[in-house]
Amino acid sequence: MHTPSPPVVCYADAARCIVADIVSHRLVAENTYRLRIDCPEIAASALPGQFVMLRIPERVDPLLARPLAVYDTFTAADTEPSNGDTPTEARRRYADFIYTVQGKFTTALKELAPGAQLLVWGPLGNGFSVPTVDHLLLVAGGIGQTALLALGRECLGNKLYGSSLRSVPRAKRVTFCWGARHGGLFGDVTDFRDAGMDVRLATLDGSVGHRGTVVDLLDELAQTEDLLHPQSIHIACCGPEGMMAAVARWSAARKISCDVSLEAPMACGIGICFTCVAKIRDAFGEWDYRRTCIEGPVFNAMAIDW
């Protein structure tokens, strides 16, 4: 029997398309850059796990914009030295992104200096929502940490994104597990430590942290944690697909709820082209293609047909 699809909430409806100045741009790890842009229209409303589509204006190659997760947002007072005055402008103005150089867009992007402009539309996507739990586990592979910092900050109560009227459940603890091929790929780990998260690192070559994968880190954690109450734990995960599938299996075996943010290639970012579809199962076990850009990028890990 055919089950009607739930109505699609289009997060793109609230997105803005703007030209934004680059404020700072620096190397933070091997082949990895941190970009800050001046975009109050987007920074003020972006929520944890949302993303933007970026293009370099007047460049036709690459023609299509590329998605990057909003890593963090700041007010002017957060970023400029205080002159002793009480800040009057509390709206978030700047948004930070961290990216690895992959192909045409990121190769061109890394050459842009402060003052250059970018075409940006966002914030896009559903972002993370978190049930009320004691322990939030953030699990990142590769560049997947970019989707997770803001979520961890909110759950620890040290930053609120979007409207000041939002109410966000607090976790007692946030553990951040991050895996990479080698230690040179970790950048700005201090952001997570300074926010009060318990940071655990794993590298395949053993150069930093545990030698192995993030799943080994989760196994380690399971030896010291009380997993008899899986409902008090929630996992938010982002990284390469194989790694997310492994984390999804790990959490399912322990009945721990898990959301993943999919990094599907995207062409339009607003639901038109169907480039970004993923196979998602409904409550009856039937699957259908869902557009990652407007129905994700965050999905319940159990619903994904890996």
Ligand X SMILES: Cc1cc2nc3c(=O)[nH]c(=O)nc-3n(C[C@H](O)[C@H](O)[C@H](O)COP(=O)(O)OP(=O)(O)OC[C@H]3O[C@@H](n4cnc5c(N)ncnc54)[C@H](O)[C@@H]3O)c2cc1C
Contact residue for ligand X among 94, 99, 128, 250 (CB under 6 A): 99
Number of residues that bind ligand X (CB under 6 A): 22
Q: Please, what is the minimum distance in Å from the beta carbon of residue 3 to ligand X?
A: 27
Cβ-count burial of 28 within 10 angstroms (0-12 exposed, 13-18 middle, 19+ buried)? Answer: middle
CA distance 154 to 167: 10
**Using the rule CB under 6 A, is 293 a contact of ligand FES?**
yes
Q: Please, what is the minimum distance in Å from the beta carbon of residue 183 to ligand X?
A: 18
**Using the rule CB under 6 A, is 124 a contact of ligand FES?**
no
Q: Please, what is the minimum distance in Å from the beta carbon of residue 151 to ligand FES?
A: 22
**Using the rule CB under 6 A, is 274 a contact of ligand FES?**
yes
**Using the rule CB under 6 A, is 162 a contact of ligand X?**
no
**Using the rule CB under 6 A, is 127 a contact of ligand FES?**
no
User: Which residues have CB under 8 Å from 149's CB, separation 6+?
Assistant: 71, 72, 191, 192, 195
- Residue keyed to tokens 């990142």: 140
Which of these segments, 80-88, 93-101, 206-214, 228-236, binds ligand X (CB under 6 A)?
Answer: 93-101
Contact residue for ligand FES among 65, 68, 248, 266 (CB under 6 A): 266
Number of residues that bind ligand FES (CB under 6 A): 12
* 302 touches 248 (CB < 8 A): yes
Q: Please, what is the minimum distance in Å from the beta carbon of residue 241 to ligand FES?
A: 17
Query: Do you find a cis peptide bond into 7, omega within 30 degrees of 0?
Result: no
**Using the rule CB under 6 A, is 272 a contact of ligand FES?**
yes
Dihedral sign for Cα 94, 100, 103, 108, please: positive
Cβ-count burial of 172 within 10 angstroms (0-12 exposed, 13-18 middle, 19+ buried)? Answer: exposed
